[in-house]
């Protein structure tokens, strides 16, 4: 099975959560919009639908006759097919819940630099961004990362079940993104989230993840993306 991932070609974005599952599983996939003619193919799918679904936005994934969108939904689908999810129903539901909560955190990170509208550039909404980022650093970042830490303290070396799954890969990506966007805030949090940082390190050392991170397939973080490093949003 060759999976087709549809996502914007120049950023990690939400697509990265899907790429990490495909890469860690060693799955055969094509990153459609990064291929020649791929953007036109993605645009057609957004305009006319694909299979049973009219996607609202990228990322979306085609797996033969199946089409699925929404990041946490895609990673659940792939994780359960590719051995990166718990086997029990209780574990599968917990993994889905954790991945969706990480997706909420990602949306809140996005809104630190776009608190008013996605239609206009960051530079048009700087004062609102400063206020939202301050509240994010003070309240939301501690709440979300603290919850991930507590979840690890309850469960063990991984967020759910006994082996690494898609929820852990999502935690890796969000911690990497937060360290890029909010290096000062994350440094101040480090002593409170040792288990989460250890999980990040263990994921980064997985052979297929390490190979992916060192490859040109891994796009660098950049300031057109969800995680952006604006010093005024993360004072020392």
- Which positions touch a copy of itself (CB under 8 A)? 49, 51-56, 65-70, 72-73, 77, 89-91, 93-94, 96-97, 100-101, 104, 107, 111, 115-119, 125, 128, 131-132, 135, 139, 144, 147, 150-151, 154, 160
Is the Cβ of residue 42 or residue 219 nearer to a copy of itself in the bound state? 42
Smallest distance, a copy of itself to C-beta of residue 47, A: 10
Smallest distance, a copy of itself to C-beta of residue 62, A: 11
Residue 236: helix, strand or coil by DSSP? Answer: coil
Smallest distance, a copy of itself to C-beta of residue 108, A: 9
Is the Cβ of residue 107 or residue 204 nearer to a copy of itself in the bound state? 107
Is the Cβ of residue 59 or residue 177 nearer to a copy of itself in the bound state? 59
Q: Answer for the pair 122, 146: CB distance below 8 angstroms, yes or no.
A: no
Residue 220 CA to residue 129 CA, distance in Å, equals 23
> Around Cβ 109, how many Cβ atoms within 10 Å?
22
Is the Cβ of residue 82 or residue 160 nearer to a copy of itself in the bound state? 160
Is the Cβ of residue 39 or residue 53 nearer to a copy of itself in the bound state? 53
Residue 43 CA to residue 20 CA, distance in Å, equals 23
Identify the CA nearest to 199 among candidates 149, 140, 137: 149
Smallest distance, a copy of itself to C-beta of residue 75, A: 12
Smallest distance, a copy of itself to C-beta of residue 228, A: 18
> Around Cβ 192, how many Cβ atoms within 10 Å?
12
Is the Cβ of residue 34 or residue 97 nearer to a copy of itself in the bound state? 97
Smallest distance, a copy of itself to C-beta of residue 93, A: 4
Residue 12 CA to residue 176 CA, distance in Å, equals 11
How far is the first Cα of the chain from the last one, in angstroms, to the nearest whole number? 48
> Around Cβ 161, how many Cβ atoms within 10 Å?
20
The number of C-alpha atoms within 13 Å of 29 and in the hemisphere containing its C-beta is: 27
């Amino acid at each position: 099975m060759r999976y087709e991932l549809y996502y914007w070609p120049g950023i990690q974005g939400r697509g990265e959560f899907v790429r990490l599952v495909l890469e860690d599983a060693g799955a055969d996939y094509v990153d459609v919009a990064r291929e020649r003619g791929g953007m036109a193919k993605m645009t057609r799918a957004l305009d006319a639908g694909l299979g049973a679904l009219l996607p609202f936005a990228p990322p979306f994934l085609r797996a033969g006759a199946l089409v699925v969108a929404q990041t946490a939904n895609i990673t659940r689908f792939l994780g359960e097919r590719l051995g990166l999810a718990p086997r029990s129903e209780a574990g599968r539901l917990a993994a889905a819940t954790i991945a969706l909560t990480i997706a909420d955190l990602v949306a809140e990170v996005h809104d630190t630099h776009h608190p008013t509208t996605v239609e206009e550039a960051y530079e048009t909404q700087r004062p609102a961004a400063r206020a939202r980022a301050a509240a994010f650093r003070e309240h939301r970042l501690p709440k979300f990362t603290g919850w991930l830490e507590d979840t690890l303290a309850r469960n063990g070396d991984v967020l759910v079940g006994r082996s690494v799954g898609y929820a852990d890969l999502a935690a890796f990506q969000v911690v990497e993104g937060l360290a890029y966007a909010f290096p000062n805030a994350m440094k101040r949090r480090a002593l409170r989230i040792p288990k989460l940082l250890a999980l990040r390190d263990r994921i980064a050392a997985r052979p297929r993840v390490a190979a992916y991170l060192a490859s040109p397939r891994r796009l660098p973080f950049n300031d057109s993306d969800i995680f952006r490093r604006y010093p005024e949003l993360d004072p020392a």
